[in-house]
Amino acid sequence: QQQVKQSPQSLIVQKGGISIINCAYENTAFDYFPWYQQFPGKGPALLIAIRPDVSEKKEGRFTISFNKSAKQFSLHIMDSQPGDSATYFCGGSQGNLIFGKGTKLSVKP
């Protein structure tokens, strides 16, 4: 049973544009929702995270929007840069992390 569904699988955005990645979860016991960024050959790096009692969290160019009733959350990357090109994973946690399958983002100069 896949508990976290992530879309799209891949995304191409022009430099300066907005990248949007969506996730839907099933387990209402999740109490923590992180986003990770992973470059080839590296482990996932925590980007930003949100708890279900908050509807939005912004850190620099990165924003999480959270809709508890719809069991959905999304990552917005404003002013996308070529250096943002990486694979992004959403997750849900009540202890152990359940990850989505990932979105490969390519930002074209």
Regarding 92 and contact with other proteins (CB under 8 A), the answer is no
- List, as one string, the DSSP characters of 22-43: EEEE--TT--BEEEEEE-TTS-
Amino acid at 68: K
Regarding 81 and contact with other proteins (CB under 8 A), the answer is no
For the bound state, the minimum distance from the C-beta of residue 86 to other proteins, rounded and expressed in Å, comes to 14
For the bound state, the minimum distance from the C-beta of residue 88 to other proteins, rounded and expressed in Å, comes to 10
* Closer by beta carbon to other proteins, 68 or else 101: 101
* Closer by beta carbon to other proteins, 9 or else 109: 9
d(CA 71, CA 33) in angstroms, rounded, equals 11
Nearest to 34 by CA among 69, 5, 75, 70: 75
Assess contact for 90 and 100: CB atoms under 8 A: yes
For the bound state, the minimum distance from the C-beta of residue 51 to other proteins, rounded and expressed in Å, comes to 8
Site string for other proteins, 26-45 (x = CB under 8 A): -----xx-x-x----xxxxx
